[in-house]
Amino acid sequence: MKILDGKKLAQKILKNLKKEIERKKLKLKLAVVLVGDDPDSEIFVKQKRKACELVGIDFELFQFPKRIQQTELAKKIKEIIKSDISGLVIQLPLPQRINTDEILSLVPKEKDAESISPVVCAITCLLEEYKISLKNKKIILIGKGRLVGQPVSDWLKKQNLVFSGIEDIKQADIIISGTGRPNLIKGEMVKKGAVIIDVGGDVEFETVSKKASYLTPTPGGVGPMTVACLLHNLVYGFISF
């Protein structure tokens, strides 16, 4: 079994971004809006800040209390958009009482640092780096969420690739999972030689690693790549890899 080393590849991408920023003397700034103090969200924000500092992109966090009303949050976001930022990220999830679609729709495409899904970019780059093709493969996509399932589903459809859900997992050549349910996927569920891209920390690593040919670790797999892809969007103007 080979590890799909997202951390190593992300470091390579960030190094190249730093060179590009220095070569072009770019002045870029990423703003992140965080509502509340969810521990996982705060970790993700710290990762974005650290990567920005590494490559030479200014970073600003706008953190609001969990109790903020939607109208007030919308007003604040509109003010942020009018400032000198290059790109904006609304850190998800937002509190349940906030209409996420309405808030995300406030961000114009030219300021939306996630207009190209960082998860899709991350998966694409890992597959290309390790020369893994999806053509003529039995693909399984697990999860239907906004951050993973939805954009990955759209991406697969655009490539005219057929895929199904967890009910067909035992026949899968490629498994992409992003439910956020630890140990959902166990070794006995996976056929020998399957390629597994675990976005949500869904894999029981000890048992699955004995069956898979390639596997992303958690942490160190897709996560670092999503941050690198986010900054790639900023540097190259929201164009895909």
Degrees to nearest 5, angle at CA 97 with 86 and 230: 25
Two tokens at 134?
A: 């999806």
Residue 187's CB is within 10 A of a number of other CB atoms, namely 15
pLDDT at 80: 98
pLDDT at 234: 94
Q: In which band, very low, low, confident or very high, does the pLDDT at 2 lie, cut at 50, 70 and 90? A: very high
Judge whether 51 and 231 are in contact, CB under 8 Å: yes
C-alpha 127/C-alpha 34 separation (Å) is: 31
pLDDT at 240: 47
Distances (CA, A) of 152 to 3, 103, 119, 144, 175: 21, 22, 8, 9, 12
Residues 146-188 pLDDT 10s:
999 999 999 999 999 999 999 999 999 999 999 999 999 999 9
pLDDT at 241: 46
pLDDT at 115: 87
Residues 4-27 pLDDT 10s:
999 999 999 999 999 999 999 999
> For the chain, what is the mean pLDDT?
95
